[in-house]
Amino acid sequence: MKTIANYAVIGAVVLGFAAPVFAHHSAAAFNTQQNVTVTGTVTKYRFANPHVYLTLDVKKADGTVSSVEVEAGAASVLNGLGFNANSVKVGEVVSITGNPGRREPEKLLLGRDLVKADGSYVPLNIASRSVYDGKVSTPATSIAGTWFSPGFGGFTGSARKWVVTDAAKAVSSKMDARSTTQKDCIPIGLPFVTFYPVATTIEVQKDRVLIKTDWMDTDRTVYLDGRAHPPATQTSLHGHSVGRWEGDTLVVETTNFRDHPMGLTTTFPSSSRKKLVERFRLGDDRKTLNYSGIIEDSVYLTRPVEWSGNWEYRPGMPHSNEKCDLGVARKFLRDF
């Protein structure tokens, strides 16, 4: 069975100095340096955001049966790797490889990979291998369609070069895994949230473009009708977006963001002065979409910063359509 030695934490970002990093939450509750494999019968299974949970009844060497709870990745993320609500069923016998909990190693496991009795493979973590071959036979004709970000490299690679202000460092120094806004089903800010490895669908209409990212209700409307931004006092989580076409490139300007503790990255905030200019362009191969832009925030960034990354065309990829479950989102707090 394939095992994963290193846990790829969502949104690991270093901006010139050490900073706490975490996904929906930290893997600190698990011993990520140790891999174990357990085999048992699935007694509970919940396909949910921001985590999927399974419970196994595992028969021990002395004949007794113990219950092991397995924490897997988010339904939206696993959906992009080929895991869906029907991938596992209660009553199945499965083998799961993962990292044991630090406090109760025999009762809690951070799942990586699952193999069924028939040998079929199921990914349980963002770092797990995908069941898709990644090949696209039909090229895109425009930026419209469903796209998939293969990871955060395009964004975090740029973010490592950013220089943040002392105000940003002060906020960051007080943050830990419990500080994540995602425990309250509030996603991290734009544009970082769009680099989640989930399905993102772009719908182009005459007077607007709709962008839906399958992560904590990240739905956006980009107005193409020439309207102005509202007064600065009218703020929202994803701001107000207006756009224009430059040839076949969609250029989007977004302002009117509200203050956000994780508005720049998982570890750095953004303010209501944040301004975002994004560019969406179909790649020359017509199988990728180039997503680039500039972020300004005079409160937390010393100067405007840029990023660039590519999304992959996935015309057949569905959205998980799973809402963020507040109880599931806060479940990890029990481990602190």
pLDDT at 10: 32
220-278 per-position pLDDT tens digit: 999 999 999 999 999 999 999 999 999 999 999 999 999 999 999 888 999 999 999 99
Q: Check whether 325 has a pLDDT greater than 50.
A: yes
What is the mean predicted confidence (pLDDT) over 134-153? 85
Q: Check whether 5 has a pLDDT greater than 80.
A: no
**What's the predicted TM-score (pTM) here?**
0.81
Architecture of the domain defined by 145-313 = Beta Barrel (2.40)
pLDDT at 20: 34
pLDDT at 128: 85
pLDDT at 176: 78
pLDDT at 202: 98
Q: What is the 3-state secondary structure (H, E, C) of the chain?
A: CCCCCCCCCCCCCCCCCCCCCCCCCCCCCECCCCCEEEEEEEEEEECCECCCEEEEEEECCCCCEEEEEEECCCHHHHHHHCCCCCCCCCCCEEEEEEEEECCCCCCEEEEEEEEECCCCEEECCCCCCCCCCCCCCCCCCCCCEEEECCCCHHHHHHHCCCCECHHHHHHHHCCCHHHCHHHHCCCCCCCHHHHCCCEEEEEECCCEEEEEECCCCEEEEEECCCCCCCCCCCCECCCEEEEEEECCEEEEEEECECCECCCCCCCCCECCCCEEEEEEEECCCCCEEEEEEEEECCCCECCCEEEEEEEEECCCCCCCCCCECHHHHCHHHHHC
pLDDT at 136: 65
pLDDT at 63: 87
